[in-house]
Amino acid sequence: MRYEDWRATRFFPGLEGLRAIAALLVVFHHARTHRLWGVLEGWNGVTLFFVLSGFLITTLALREEDERGALRWRAFFVRRGFRILPVYLASLALYAAAMFVLGIGATHRASFVHAVPWFLSPLPEVPFFTHVHVVFSLAWSLGIEEKFYLLWPLLAFVVLRRRGGARLALAVVLALVCQLPLALTGGGRAVAPYSAVLVGCVLAFLLHDRRTFPVVARLGSNAGFVVAATMLVAVHASTHLWHPTAEGFRVSSAAYYLPYSLAAALVVGSLALRSRPGIASPPMRFVGRVSYPLYLMHPLGLGVAASFVAPGGTVAELAYLAVGLVLSLALAYALHRVVERPLIRVGKQQAARFGTARERDSARIALAAA
Protein backbone atom coordinates (compact mmCIF):
# COMPACT_ATOMS: atom_id res chain seq x y z
CA MET A 1 0.00 0.00 0.00
CA ARG A 2 1.23 3.48 -0.85
CA TYR A 3 1.32 6.22 1.75
CA GLU A 4 -1.36 8.20 -0.12
CA ASP A 5 -3.63 5.15 -0.16
CA TRP A 6 -3.12 4.69 3.57
CA ARG A 7 -4.04 8.28 4.32
CA ALA A 8 -7.15 7.96 2.15
CA THR A 9 -8.35 4.82 3.98
CA ARG A 10 -11.27 5.67 6.27
CA PHE A 11 -12.43 2.27 7.43
CA PHE A 12 -10.51 -0.83 8.55
CA PRO A 13 -12.76 -3.92 8.21
CA GLY A 14 -9.97 -6.21 9.38
CA LEU A 15 -9.86 -4.40 12.70
CA GLU A 16 -13.56 -5.09 13.21
CA GLY A 17 -12.75 -8.78 12.88
CA LEU A 18 -9.83 -8.43 15.27
CA ARG A 19 -12.13 -6.70 17.76
CA ALA A 20 -14.45 -9.72 17.45
CA ILE A 21 -11.58 -12.07 18.29
CA ALA A 22 -10.70 -9.97 21.33
CA ALA A 23 -14.30 -10.04 22.58
CA LEU A 24 -14.66 -13.80 22.04
CA LEU A 25 -11.43 -14.46 23.92
CA VAL A 26 -12.90 -12.68 26.93
CA VAL A 27 -16.15 -14.66 26.63
CA PHE A 28 -14.23 -17.95 26.62
CA HIS A 29 -12.17 -16.81 29.59
CA HIS A 30 -15.27 -16.17 31.67
CA ALA A 31 -17.00 -19.42 30.74
CA ARG A 32 -17.49 -21.67 33.74
CA THR A 33 -14.75 -24.14 32.83
CA HIS A 34 -11.32 -23.70 31.27
CA ARG A 35 -10.90 -27.39 30.66
CA LEU A 36 -11.87 -27.11 27.00
CA TRP A 37 -10.77 -23.63 26.06
CA GLY A 38 -8.55 -22.32 28.84
CA VAL A 39 -5.55 -22.24 26.53
CA LEU A 40 -7.19 -19.34 24.71
CA GLU A 41 -6.36 -17.16 27.75
CA GLY A 42 -9.16 -14.68 27.31
CA TRP A 43 -7.47 -12.14 29.53
CA ASN A 44 -5.37 -11.24 26.50
CA GLY A 45 -8.47 -10.08 24.68
CA VAL A 46 -8.61 -7.03 26.96
CA THR A 47 -5.01 -6.16 26.16
CA LEU A 48 -5.80 -6.50 22.46
CA PHE A 49 -8.68 -4.05 22.96
CA PHE A 50 -6.27 -1.59 24.60
CA VAL A 51 -3.84 -1.71 21.65
CA LEU A 52 -6.70 -1.25 19.19
CA SER A 53 -8.04 1.73 21.14
CA GLY A 54 -4.70 3.51 21.25
CA PHE A 55 -4.14 2.95 17.54
CA LEU A 56 -7.59 4.00 16.33
CA ILE A 57 -8.00 7.05 18.55
CA THR A 58 -4.53 8.39 17.73
CA THR A 59 -4.91 7.70 14.00
CA LEU A 60 -8.24 9.55 13.85
CA ALA A 61 -6.85 12.44 15.90
CA LEU A 62 -3.79 12.77 13.63
CA ARG A 63 -5.95 12.84 10.52
CA GLU A 64 -8.32 15.41 11.99
CA GLU A 65 -5.34 17.56 12.95
CA ASP A 66 -4.03 17.44 9.39
CA GLU A 67 -7.41 18.19 7.84
CA ARG A 68 -8.64 20.89 10.24
CA GLY A 69 -5.41 22.25 11.66
CA ALA A 70 -6.13 20.95 15.17
CA LEU A 71 -8.01 18.25 17.00
CA ARG A 72 -11.44 19.50 18.11
CA TRP A 73 -10.91 18.08 21.56
CA ARG A 74 -14.26 19.24 22.93
CA ALA A 75 -16.04 17.45 20.10
CA PHE A 76 -13.83 14.42 20.75
CA PHE A 77 -14.93 14.28 24.40
CA VAL A 78 -18.58 14.56 23.41
CA ARG A 79 -18.31 11.74 20.86
CA ARG A 80 -16.46 9.49 23.30
CA GLY A 81 -18.93 10.22 26.08
CA PHE A 82 -21.93 9.28 23.96
CA ARG A 83 -20.05 6.26 22.63
CA ILE A 84 -19.11 4.79 26.02
CA LEU A 85 -21.38 5.97 28.81
CA PRO A 86 -24.91 5.09 27.57
CA VAL A 87 -24.08 1.41 26.96
CA TYR A 88 -22.10 1.26 30.19
CA LEU A 89 -24.93 2.68 32.30
CA ALA A 90 -27.57 0.58 30.53
CA SER A 91 -25.49 -2.55 31.18
CA LEU A 92 -25.06 -1.67 34.84
CA ALA A 93 -28.84 -1.16 35.14
CA LEU A 94 -29.51 -4.55 33.50
CA TYR A 95 -27.17 -6.28 35.95
CA ALA A 96 -28.98 -4.60 38.85
CA ALA A 97 -32.36 -5.66 37.46
CA ALA A 98 -31.20 -9.24 36.90
CA MET A 99 -29.87 -9.43 40.45
CA PHE A 100 -32.62 -7.66 42.39
CA VAL A 101 -35.67 -8.38 40.25
CA LEU A 102 -34.97 -11.74 38.63
CA GLY A 103 -32.75 -13.11 41.40
CA ILE A 104 -29.87 -14.01 39.06
CA GLY A 105 -26.62 -13.95 41.05
CA ALA A 106 -28.52 -12.95 44.18
CA THR A 107 -25.67 -14.16 46.42
CA HIS A 108 -23.52 -11.31 45.08
CA ARG A 109 -25.95 -8.53 45.98
CA ALA A 110 -24.04 -7.19 48.99
CA SER A 111 -20.68 -6.90 47.19
CA PHE A 112 -22.39 -5.44 44.13
CA VAL A 113 -24.14 -2.73 46.16
CA HIS A 114 -20.83 -1.93 47.87
CA ALA A 115 -19.11 -1.55 44.48
CA VAL A 116 -21.81 0.47 42.68
CA PRO A 117 -20.45 3.87 43.89
CA TRP A 118 -17.12 2.95 42.31
CA PHE A 119 -18.83 1.83 39.10
CA LEU A 120 -20.55 5.22 38.91
CA SER A 121 -17.32 7.11 39.61
CA PRO A 122 -14.28 7.88 37.42
CA LEU A 123 -12.55 4.91 39.11
CA PRO A 124 -14.59 1.80 38.25
CA GLU A 125 -11.38 -0.27 38.34
CA VAL A 126 -11.00 0.03 42.15
CA PRO A 127 -13.08 -3.09 43.07
CA PHE A 128 -11.11 -5.20 40.60
CA PHE A 129 -7.65 -4.07 41.66
CA THR A 130 -8.49 -4.34 45.35
CA HIS A 131 -9.27 -8.04 44.88
CA VAL A 132 -12.98 -7.65 45.57
CA HIS A 133 -14.82 -10.35 43.64
CA VAL A 134 -17.94 -8.61 42.45
CA VAL A 135 -20.37 -8.79 39.56
CA PHE A 136 -19.53 -6.23 36.82
CA SER A 137 -15.88 -6.01 37.90
CA LEU A 138 -14.96 -6.13 34.21
CA ALA A 139 -15.71 -2.40 34.30
CA TRP A 140 -12.05 -2.03 35.31
CA SER A 141 -10.96 -1.86 31.68
CA LEU A 142 -13.42 0.96 31.00
CA GLY A 143 -11.76 2.93 33.80
CA ILE A 144 -8.41 2.56 32.03
CA GLU A 145 -9.78 3.64 28.66
CA GLU A 146 -11.84 6.54 30.02
CA LYS A 147 -8.80 8.15 31.62
CA PHE A 148 -6.78 7.58 28.47
CA TYR A 149 -9.49 9.27 26.40
CA LEU A 150 -9.51 12.19 28.82
CA LEU A 151 -5.77 12.80 29.17
CA TRP A 152 -4.12 11.66 25.95
CA PRO A 153 -5.87 14.05 23.50
CA LEU A 154 -5.10 17.03 25.73
CA LEU A 155 -1.49 16.04 26.23
CA ALA A 156 -0.64 14.88 22.70
CA PHE A 157 -2.89 17.11 20.59
CA VAL A 158 -3.26 20.29 22.62
CA VAL A 159 -0.05 20.67 24.65
CA LEU A 160 2.12 19.00 21.98
CA ARG A 161 0.09 20.04 18.96
CA ARG A 162 1.84 19.13 15.68
CA ARG A 163 5.04 18.13 17.46
CA GLY A 164 5.29 14.67 15.96
CA GLY A 165 8.70 13.69 17.28
CA ALA A 166 7.92 14.82 20.81
CA ARG A 167 4.61 12.95 20.81
CA LEU A 168 6.19 9.73 19.61
CA ALA A 169 8.93 9.99 22.21
CA LEU A 170 6.35 10.72 24.90
CA ALA A 171 4.30 7.64 24.00
CA VAL A 172 7.39 5.40 24.08
CA VAL A 173 8.64 6.81 27.39
CA LEU A 174 5.21 6.59 29.04
CA ALA A 175 4.76 3.00 27.85
CA LEU A 176 8.00 2.08 29.59
CA VAL A 177 7.32 4.17 32.69
CA CYS A 178 3.93 2.53 33.19
CA GLN A 179 5.79 -0.77 33.65
CA LEU A 180 8.26 0.48 36.26
CA PRO A 181 6.11 0.04 39.39
CA LEU A 182 5.29 -3.52 38.33
CA ALA A 183 8.91 -4.31 37.50
CA LEU A 184 10.43 -2.74 40.62
CA THR A 185 7.88 -3.47 43.33
CA GLY A 186 5.28 -5.84 41.90
CA GLY A 187 2.69 -3.11 42.42
CA GLY A 188 1.13 -0.73 39.95
CA ARG A 189 -1.26 -3.23 38.43
CA ALA A 190 -3.71 -0.41 37.67
CA VAL A 191 -1.04 1.57 35.80
CA ALA A 192 0.60 -1.14 33.70
CA PRO A 193 -2.34 -1.58 31.26
CA TYR A 194 -1.79 1.94 29.94
CA SER A 195 1.39 0.68 28.29
CA ALA A 196 -0.75 -1.44 25.94
CA VAL A 197 -2.79 1.59 24.91
CA LEU A 198 0.38 3.61 24.35
CA VAL A 199 1.91 0.89 22.16
CA GLY A 200 -1.12 1.32 19.90
CA CYS A 201 -0.45 5.08 19.86
CA VAL A 202 3.16 4.47 18.81
CA LEU A 203 1.96 2.33 15.89
CA ALA A 204 -0.39 5.13 14.80
CA PHE A 205 2.43 7.69 14.81
CA LEU A 206 4.73 5.42 12.78
CA LEU A 207 2.09 4.77 10.12
CA HIS A 208 1.10 8.43 9.93
CA ASP A 209 4.64 9.67 9.33
CA ARG A 210 5.67 9.51 5.66
CA ARG A 211 9.27 8.76 6.70
CA THR A 212 8.52 5.69 8.79
CA PHE A 213 5.49 4.46 6.84
CA PRO A 214 7.49 2.41 4.24
CA VAL A 215 9.11 0.36 6.99
CA VAL A 216 5.89 -0.39 8.87
CA ALA A 217 3.96 -0.91 5.61
CA ARG A 218 5.79 -4.20 5.11
CA LEU A 219 3.39 -5.63 7.65
CA GLY A 220 0.70 -5.39 4.98
CA SER A 221 2.34 -8.10 2.87
CA ASN A 222 1.42 -11.75 3.23
CA ALA A 223 4.80 -12.47 4.78
CA GLY A 224 4.39 -9.56 7.17
CA PHE A 225 1.02 -10.82 8.32
CA VAL A 226 2.29 -14.37 8.84
CA VAL A 227 5.22 -13.13 10.93
CA ALA A 228 3.00 -10.81 12.98
CA ALA A 229 0.31 -13.43 13.56
CA THR A 230 2.91 -16.06 14.49
CA MET A 231 4.48 -13.74 17.03
CA LEU A 232 1.11 -12.92 18.56
CA VAL A 233 0.10 -16.59 18.80
CA ALA A 234 3.45 -17.47 20.38
CA VAL A 235 3.23 -14.74 23.01
CA HIS A 236 -0.44 -15.53 23.57
CA ALA A 237 0.27 -19.22 24.13
CA SER A 238 3.16 -18.45 26.46
CA THR A 239 0.85 -16.70 28.92
CA HIS A 240 -0.88 -20.04 29.46
CA LEU A 241 1.88 -22.58 28.97
CA TRP A 242 4.42 -20.92 31.24
CA HIS A 243 2.00 -20.90 34.18
CA PRO A 244 -0.65 -23.54 33.44
CA THR A 245 -1.87 -23.93 37.02
CA ALA A 246 -1.51 -20.41 38.42
CA GLU A 247 -2.69 -16.94 37.61
CA GLY A 248 0.37 -16.68 35.40
CA PHE A 249 2.13 -13.40 34.82
CA ARG A 250 -0.84 -11.65 33.29
CA VAL A 251 -1.24 -8.55 35.43
CA SER A 252 1.25 -9.45 38.13
CA SER A 253 4.43 -9.26 36.05
CA ALA A 254 6.10 -6.68 33.84
CA ALA A 255 6.89 -9.55 31.47
CA TYR A 256 3.34 -9.50 30.15
CA TYR A 257 2.12 -6.18 28.80
CA LEU A 258 4.92 -4.96 26.55
CA PRO A 259 5.66 -8.28 24.76
CA TYR A 260 1.99 -9.00 24.16
CA SER A 261 1.20 -5.42 23.17
CA LEU A 262 4.07 -5.24 20.68
CA ALA A 263 2.99 -8.51 19.06
CA ALA A 264 -0.63 -7.33 18.99
CA ALA A 265 0.41 -4.01 17.43
CA LEU A 266 2.10 -5.85 14.55
CA VAL A 267 -1.14 -7.68 13.78
CA VAL A 268 -3.17 -4.47 14.14
CA GLY A 269 -0.87 -2.73 11.67
CA SER A 270 -1.00 -5.62 9.23
CA LEU A 271 -4.81 -5.79 9.24
CA ALA A 272 -5.16 -2.02 9.02
CA LEU A 273 -2.91 -1.94 5.96
CA ARG A 274 -4.55 -4.90 4.24
CA SER A 275 -7.73 -6.66 5.26
CA ARG A 276 -7.82 -10.47 5.15
CA PRO A 277 -11.01 -12.19 3.86
CA GLY A 278 -11.51 -14.53 6.82
CA ILE A 279 -11.09 -12.05 9.61
CA ALA A 280 -13.13 -9.42 7.76
CA SER A 281 -16.00 -11.80 6.95
CA PRO A 282 -19.59 -10.64 7.68
CA PRO A 283 -19.99 -12.82 10.82
CA MET A 284 -16.72 -11.55 12.29
CA ARG A 285 -17.57 -7.95 11.47
CA PHE A 286 -20.98 -8.38 13.09
CA VAL A 287 -19.40 -9.58 16.32
CA GLY A 288 -16.88 -6.75 16.06
CA ARG A 289 -19.63 -4.15 15.72
CA VAL A 290 -21.35 -5.35 18.90
CA SER A 291 -18.10 -6.14 20.74
CA TYR A 292 -18.47 -3.36 23.32
CA PRO A 293 -21.93 -4.39 24.60
CA LEU A 294 -20.87 -8.04 24.20
CA TYR A 295 -17.92 -7.42 26.50
CA LEU A 296 -20.18 -5.89 29.13
CA MET A 297 -23.12 -8.30 28.84
CA HIS A 298 -21.55 -11.72 28.32
CA PRO A 299 -21.26 -12.60 32.05
CA LEU A 300 -25.02 -12.17 32.29
CA GLY A 301 -25.61 -14.32 29.21
CA LEU A 302 -23.27 -17.02 30.52
CA GLY A 303 -24.94 -16.84 33.93
CA VAL A 304 -28.38 -17.44 32.45
CA ALA A 305 -27.01 -20.32 30.36
CA ALA A 306 -25.49 -21.89 33.47
CA SER A 307 -28.93 -21.96 35.10
CA PHE A 308 -30.31 -23.96 32.16
CA VAL A 309 -27.40 -26.29 31.36
CA ALA A 310 -26.02 -28.27 34.28
CA PRO A 311 -22.27 -28.98 34.47
CA GLY A 312 -21.28 -32.20 32.79
CA GLY A 313 -19.04 -33.69 30.15
CA THR A 314 -17.77 -32.21 26.92
CA VAL A 315 -21.19 -32.19 25.23
CA ALA A 316 -22.83 -30.41 28.16
CA GLU A 317 -20.09 -27.81 28.36
CA LEU A 318 -20.21 -27.13 24.63
CA ALA A 319 -24.00 -26.76 24.87
CA TYR A 320 -23.58 -24.36 27.80
CA LEU A 321 -21.06 -22.29 25.87
CA ALA A 322 -23.25 -22.23 22.74
CA VAL A 323 -26.34 -21.14 24.70
CA GLY A 324 -24.34 -18.57 26.65
CA LEU A 325 -22.76 -17.15 23.50
CA VAL A 326 -26.11 -16.88 21.71
CA LEU A 327 -27.72 -15.17 24.69
CA SER A 328 -24.75 -12.82 25.07
CA LEU A 329 -24.84 -11.87 21.39
CA ALA A 330 -28.60 -11.32 21.57
CA LEU A 331 -28.23 -9.00 24.56
CA ALA A 332 -25.32 -7.22 22.88
CA TYR A 333 -27.24 -6.72 19.64
CA ALA A 334 -30.28 -5.39 21.51
CA LEU A 335 -28.11 -2.85 23.34
CA HIS A 336 -26.39 -1.97 20.07
CA ARG A 337 -29.68 -1.25 18.30
CA VAL A 338 -31.58 0.38 21.17
CA VAL A 339 -28.82 2.27 22.98
CA GLU A 340 -25.42 2.26 21.32
CA ARG A 341 -26.18 3.17 17.71
CA PRO A 342 -28.82 5.85 18.41
CA LEU A 343 -26.68 7.54 21.08
CA ILE A 344 -23.61 7.51 18.84
CA ARG A 345 -25.65 9.44 16.29
CA VAL A 346 -26.71 11.91 18.98
CA GLY A 347 -23.09 12.27 20.06
CA LYS A 348 -22.00 13.10 16.52
CA GLN A 349 -24.81 15.62 16.25
CA GLN A 350 -23.81 17.29 19.51
CA ALA A 351 -20.12 17.22 18.58
CA ALA A 352 -20.91 19.03 15.34
CA ARG A 353 -21.80 22.10 17.42
CA PHE A 354 -18.07 22.65 17.89
CA GLY A 355 -17.40 22.89 14.16
CA THR A 356 -17.93 25.62 11.58
CA ALA A 357 -21.33 26.40 10.10
CA ARG A 358 -20.46 24.40 6.99
CA GLU A 359 -19.36 21.43 9.10
CA ARG A 360 -22.57 21.61 11.15
CA ASP A 361 -24.66 21.60 7.97
CA SER A 362 -22.69 18.66 6.59
CA ALA A 363 -23.18 16.76 9.84
CA ARG A 364 -26.93 17.34 9.78
CA ILE A 365 -27.15 16.13 6.18
CA ALA A 366 -25.09 13.03 7.00
CA LEU A 367 -27.22 12.22 10.07
CA ALA A 368 -30.44 12.68 8.10
CA ALA A 369 -29.20 10.28 5.44
CA ALA A 370 -27.98 7.66 7.96
Cα angle 61, 66, 71; round to 5? 40
Mean pLDDT of 55-69: 92
**b/e per residue 260-279 (b: at least 16 CB within 10 A):** bbbbbbbbbbbbbbbbbeeb
Q: Which of 27-41, 177-191, 195-209, 223-237 has the lowest mean pLDDT?
A: 27-41
Any long-range contacts for 205-213 (C-beta under 8 Å, 24+ apart)?
205/58, 205/62, 205/164, 205/167, 205/168, 205/171, 206/168, 207/6, 207/59, 207/269, 207/272, 207/273, 208/59, 208/62, 208/63, 208/164, 209/164, 209/168, 210/3, 213/3, 213/6
Specify the pLDDT at position 190.
Answer: 86
For the stretch 26-39, pLDDT in tens is: 998 888 765 556 66
Looking at residue 245, its pLDDT comes to 43
What pLDDT is attached to residue 104?
77
Q: How much is the average pLDDT of 18-27?
A: 93
Whether residue 160 has pLDDT greater than 80: yes
Which pLDDT tens digit goes with each residue over 251-297?
Answer: 566 678 888 999 999 999 999 999 888 898 999 999 999 999 999 99
Q: What pLDDT score does 41 carry? A: 63
Question: What per-residue confidence (pLDDT) applies to 248?
Answer: 44
| Residue 40, pLDDT above cutoff 90 | no
Quick: pLDDT tens for 113-143: 889 999 999 999 998 888 777 889 899 999 9
| Rounded-to-5 percentages of helix, strand, coil across the chain | 75, 0, 25
Query: How confident is the model at residue 249, as a pLDDT?
Result: 44
Highest mean predicted confidence (pLDDT) among 295-299, 303-307, 357-361: 295-299
Does residue 304 or residue 251 have the better pLDDT? Answer: 304
- Identify the residue with better confidence: 239 or 257: 257
Instruction: Output the average pLDDT for the chain.
Output: 86
State residue 133's pLDDT score.
Answer: 75
